[in-house]
Structure 1
């Protein structure tokens, strides 16, 4: 998402520092077009940029803001340290959906643990 992180472009800088090739990144519109075909979406620390209220509630402070439509995936795993709201200061109903799970953990540790578990089969 173009505004994810502490400032616009922040995530692109972090991904570049982690040696992730720019060509491997997907545009938000490209991802959203196929989100209903995604089995599991893993959300790492995001809040406002995945909040479906931006799409569904015209009275929301984030109404009309472009979001990643992870709520349309078959399952969602949200990795966050807490349920604290994002910059907009509003709750995110994504976290309470039936097909959405919360994993309260440090993001890096959680991803390392998930990858390890998948490798061990």
Structure 2
């Protein structure tokens, strides 16, 4: 599996034509304690950069953008009862949704982990 990162602090892990998307550990740290996550419905289609979900925290509500175009395959139902998983497992069990890629070529515009770390250090 290959993982990519966006400048908006989303990560996507690719397996075949399916991507699992979440927010980075850096992003959850900036938001503070997550209190609610509004997730997309399965089957909904989005273009790269579209707002797909909203993460509410004690500090603010923040949009989550899809790093690639495609159709939502699944939302992480565990977050309905445990939104804090986004804080404690941001880059593993706190994933937000899975998306079936419609344009795999869009992955080329995203950063690998090393580039993302450099990007965060520059902020």
Q: TM-score range by the shorter chain?
A: under 0.3
Indicate the structure (1 or 2) with the bigger Cα radius of gyration: 1
Taking structure 2 as the reference length, the TM-score comes to 0.24
Q: Which has the higher contact order (CA 8 A, sep 6+)?
A: 2
Taking structure 1 as the reference length, the TM-score comes to 0.24
